[in-house]
Amino acid sequence: MLKYIFSLIVFCVSIIGNAQTKDTTKVLYPERYGLRLGIDLHKIGQSFYEKDYRGFEIVGDYRLTKRFYFAGEIGNEDKTIEDDGLNFTTKGSYFKVGFDYNSFENWLDMENMIFVGMRYGISSFNHTLNDYTIFDPTNYYGENTVLTTQKFNGLNASWLEIVGGIKAELFQNVYLGFSVRLNYLVSNKKPDNFDNLFIPGYNRTYDGKFGAGFNYSLSYFIPIYKKNKVVAEEK
């Protein structure tokens, strides 16, 4: 994981390096506007190599202005989590809507992004408790693990996300992106006698209201129209 983040940072820094070369003459470049659709590679990948996980996420954005993109994700997750005293399965779907702001000044006709954004996410899910161990401080009678099929249905949560990431055009119209997300729970409908330890789309929960996530996206850009960008003379 960290290896990939690192390589993306290096890549990202090299883009910034490029950006410092500034044009001194006034040139017109056509900027393309359109819809970009893709998938989260990490969730697809995990579905293959982890037997306790099935999930996917479709990502999309639509360019509104030079810098702003309407953006969102929609996905589904089915994850079984084994903790010290608990084993449970969470299933559910989610969607997130918001915007991305591209802070990256592209050189010539490049269309890369270093962006920040926000999302509002909503998730609907259920948990199935598979087994739990009673926390007995003495364990005098031996460890007591209780098998169950208790279901906790009709749960939901919503949260705000601050997103930061990059998207780079690998080749014509195909983009590879990485984003990290800081989540803040706005609402959280908890079950009786259990807790939302994992929320599809939000990821695992912590004691407070904060959480975090990330994705790797591979997406395809469908151009719809063009606008000219004017690169003004600098100095």
What is the rounded distance in angstroms from the CA atom of residue 10 to the CA atom of residue 4? 10
Binding mask 110-139 toward another protein (x if CB under 8 A, else -) reads ----xxx---------------xxxxxxx-
| 140 binds another protein per the rule CB under 8 A | yes
> Between residue 212 and residue 231, which ones bind another protein under the rule CB under 8 A?
212-214
| 84 binds another protein per the rule CB under 8 A | yes
> Between residue 15 and residue 74, which ones bind another protein under the rule CB under 8 A?
none
Q: What angle do CA 146, 148, 150 make, to 5 degrees?
A: 135
Give least dist CB 96 to another protein, A: 15
Give the interface size with another protein as a residue count (CB under 8 A). Answer: 41
Q: Which is nearer to another protein, 44 or 197 (CB)?
A: 197
> Between residue 173 and residue 202, which ones bind another protein under the rule CB under 8 A?
180-182, 193-195, 197
By CB under 8 A, name the one of 10, 26, 28, 141 that touches another protein. 141
Whether 228 contacts 208, CB under 8 Å: no
| Residue 86: closest CA among 154, 156, 146, 155 | 146
Q: Which is nearer to another protein, 88 or 94 (CB)?
A: 88
Which of the ranges 22-30, 50-58, 77-85, 217-225 carries the binding residues for another protein, by CB under 8 A?
Answer: 77-85
Whether 58 contacts 42, CB under 8 Å: no
> CB within 8 A of 193, min separation 6: which ones?
none
What is the rounded distance in angstroms from the CA atom of residue 25 to the CA atom of residue 79? 55
Give least dist CB 213 to another protein, A: 8
| 204 CB-contact burial (10 Å; exposed 0-12 / middle 13-18 / buried 19+) | middle
Q: Which is nearer to another protein, 35 or 116 (CB)?
A: 116
Give least dist CB 25 to another protein, A: 24
| Residue 198: closest CA among 95, 45, 89 | 89
Q: Which residues of 20-49 are buried (b: 16+ CB within 10 A; e: fewer)?
A: eeeeeeeeebebbbeebebbbbbbeebeee
| 144 binds another protein per the rule CB under 8 A | yes
| 164 binds another protein per the rule CB under 8 A | yes
Give least dist CB 85 to another protein, A: 2
Whether 14 contacts 7, CB under 8 Å: no
Contact residues toward another protein (CB under 8 A) are 1-2, 5, 9, 83-86, 101, 103, 114-116, 132-138, 140-141, 144, 146, 162-165, 180-182, 193-195, 197, 203, 206-207, 212-214
